[in-house]
């Protein structure tokens, strides 16, 4: 690991044939394909290099074309919040799946999921070629990475960082980023983060909020997370801000509807629940029948549907399993904290998009 980092220090940084020197900031367009009319299709990349050598970090967004939060996070970071780097290099690719961004779609025109195509292949499908260009030009040249995602369409996520915590580099990034919830796992085969880690580039993802939106809370904590990581790597001054609590989640489960109907939600993303708690009520359309949806385990609501009409099997809540003991301990700590917390603010924020009715 140490040796690899030293090698990286010695390496010149060249992206698509352009050499970027220390102290330079450069906007590049990385050609990834051609349109039907033979025009070049390229993705925007900003490279910021400090005068002094140091770690190389990439941040990527919109690998799923409808998950545009990364575009907003990079914008806030670059326009408003990023101080001058003291050392190292930051490579920003806010819109990896430009096709999906333009067509409001998770997928690429060949109907593939780009986040199952990494590390890609120069002689493969359109998706595979795109993945290959990004992987070779950006990801493999870096020491660490952060990839921004949101929940899938018609769902929202309480912001959580995901990564393979067995990898010391990933564990360092995940903790430094500063979210309360860290979901431990290597990620699906072909995903950017799994492939990056396999290539020796520890990478985490942020899963926060909804598709097609710049949610203020999500942008704020995305920016804060990147700054925390840069502080941890001594690329900018300061120490990472710590959340009020931080737990690692090793198992999650979906709570599903058993009957067709209309939902009343009783809990919001980020809420602590105990086995047997009522999470939602499933009503028939005129309310003549109603059935309770209960938690089958103790845990924290990681994500939920924003669509209040369901059929049997529809996923309603994504529950991050935690022991009652852990939940009790955290609740005690939170109760002792008198200052306004970003944890509460975020929960309020996300709950404004869905009707939460106390039972």
Helix or strand or coil: residue 226?
helix
Interaction between residue 149 and Zn ion (CB under 5 A):
yes
Q: Compare residues 82 and 101 and give the one whose CB is closer to Zn ion.
A: 101
CB of 167 to Zn ion, least distance (A): 20
Q: Compare residues 67 and 167 and give the one whose CB is closer to Zn ion.
A: 67
User: Phi and psi (nearest 5°) for 292?
Assistant: -85, 140
CB of 259 to Zn ion, least distance (A): 30
CB of 354 to Zn ion, least distance (A): 20
Q: Compare residues 189 and 311 and give the one whose CB is closer to Zn ion.
A: 189
Nearest-CB residue for Zn ion: 149
Task: Determine the interface stretch with Zn ion among 59-67, 238-246, 256-264, 341-349 (rule: CB under 5 A).
Answer: 59-67
Interaction between residue 347 and Zn ion (CB under 5 A):
no
Residues 227, 74 contacting (CB under 8 angstroms): no
Residues 229, 177 contacting (CB under 8 angstroms): yes
CB of 252 to Zn ion, least distance (A): 16
Of 166-195, which residues contact Zn ion (CB under 5 A)? none
Percentages of the chain per state (helix, strand, coil), in multiples of 5? 30, 30, 40
Residues 279, 316 contacting (CB under 8 angstroms): yes
**Candidate list 49, 56, 64, 347; residue touching Zn ion; CB under 5 A:** 64
Task: Determine the interface stretch with Zn ion among 67-75, 216-224, 314-322, 324-332 (rule: CB under 5 A).
Answer: 67-75
CB of 195 to Zn ion, least distance (A): 15
Helix or strand or coil: residue 25?
strand
Task: Determine the interface stretch with Zn ion among 58-66, 131-139, 311-319, 338-346 (rule: CB under 5 A).
Answer: 58-66
Q: Evaluate the CA torsion angle 240, 245, 250, 253 in order and state its sign.
A: negative
Residues 173, 144 contacting (CB under 8 angstroms): yes
**DSSP H/E element including 6:** helix 2-10
Q: Compare residues 66 and 143 and give the one whose CB is closer to Zn ion.
A: 66
Q: Compare residues 28 and 173 and give the one whose CB is closer to Zn ion.
A: 173
DSSP 331: H
Q: Compare residues 149 and 268 and give the one whose CB is closer to Zn ion.
A: 149
CB of 18 to Zn ion, least distance (A): 29
CB of 320 to Zn ion, least distance (A): 18
Residues 161, 172 contacting (CB under 8 angstroms): no
Q: Max alpha carbon distance in the chain (Å)?
A: 71
- Report the alpha-carbon angle 18-24-25, nearest 5: 85
List, in order, residues 6 or more apart from 298 with CB less than 8 Å away.
273, 274, 275, 321, 322, 323, 324, 327
Q: What is the C-alpha end-to-end distance of the chain, expressed in Å? A: 53
Q: Evaluate the CA torsion angle 322, 324, 327, 333 in order and state its sign.
A: negative
CB of 16 to Zn ion, least distance (A): 25
Q: Compare residues 89 and 305 and give the one whose CB is closer to Zn ion.
A: 305
Q: Compare residues 132 and 210 and give the one whose CB is closer to Zn ion.
A: 210
Task: Determine the interface stretch with Zn ion among 127-135, 148-156, 279-287, 334-342 (rule: CB under 5 A).
Answer: 148-156
Residues in contact with Zn ion by the rule CB under 5 A: 64, 67, 149
């Amino acid at each position: 690991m140490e040796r690899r980092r030293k090698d990286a220090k010695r390496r010149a940084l060249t992206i698509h044939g352009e050499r970027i020197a220390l102290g330079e900031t450069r906007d590049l367009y990385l050609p990834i394909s051609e349109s039907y009319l033979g025009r070049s299709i390229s993705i925007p990349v900003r490279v910021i290099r400090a005068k002094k050598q140091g770690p190389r970090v990439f941040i990527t967004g919109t690998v799923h074309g409808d998950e545009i939060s990364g575009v907003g996070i990079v914008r806030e970071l670059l326009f408003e919040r990023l101080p001058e780097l003291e050392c190292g290099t930051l490579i920003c690719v806010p819109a990896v799946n430009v096709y999906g961004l333009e067509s409001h779609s998770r997928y690429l025109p060949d109907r593939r999921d780009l986040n199952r195509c990494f590390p890609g292949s120069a002689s493969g499908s359109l998706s595979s070629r795109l993945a290959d260009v990004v992987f070779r030009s950006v990801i493999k040249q870096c020491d660490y990475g952060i990839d921004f995602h949101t929940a899938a369409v018609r769902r929202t996520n309480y912001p959580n960082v995901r990564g393979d915590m067995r990898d010391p580099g990933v564990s360092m990034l995940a903790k430094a980023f500063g979210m309360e919830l860290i979901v431990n796992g290597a990620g699906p085969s072909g995903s950017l983060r799994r492939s990056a880690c396999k290539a020796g580039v520890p990478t985490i993802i942020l899963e926060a909020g909804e598709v097609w939106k710049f949610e203020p809370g999500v942008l704020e904590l995305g920016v804060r997370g990147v700054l925390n990581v840069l502080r941890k790597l001594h690329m900018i001054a300061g120490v990472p801000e710590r959340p009020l609590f931080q737990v690692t989640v090793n198992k999650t489960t979906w709570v599903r509807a058993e009957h067709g109907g209309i939902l009343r939600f009783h809990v919001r993303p980020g809420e602590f629940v105990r086995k047997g708690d009522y999470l939602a009520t499933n009503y028939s359309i005129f309310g003549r029948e109603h059935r309770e949806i209960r938690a089958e385990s103790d845990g924290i609501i990681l994500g939920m549907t924003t669509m209040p009409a369901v059929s049997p099997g529809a996923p309603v809540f994504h529950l991050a399993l935690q022991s009652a003991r852990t939940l009790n301990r955290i609740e005690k700590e939170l109760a002792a904290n008198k200052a306004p917390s970003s944890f509460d603010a975020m929960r309020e924020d996300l709950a404004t998009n869905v009707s939460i009715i106390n039972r």
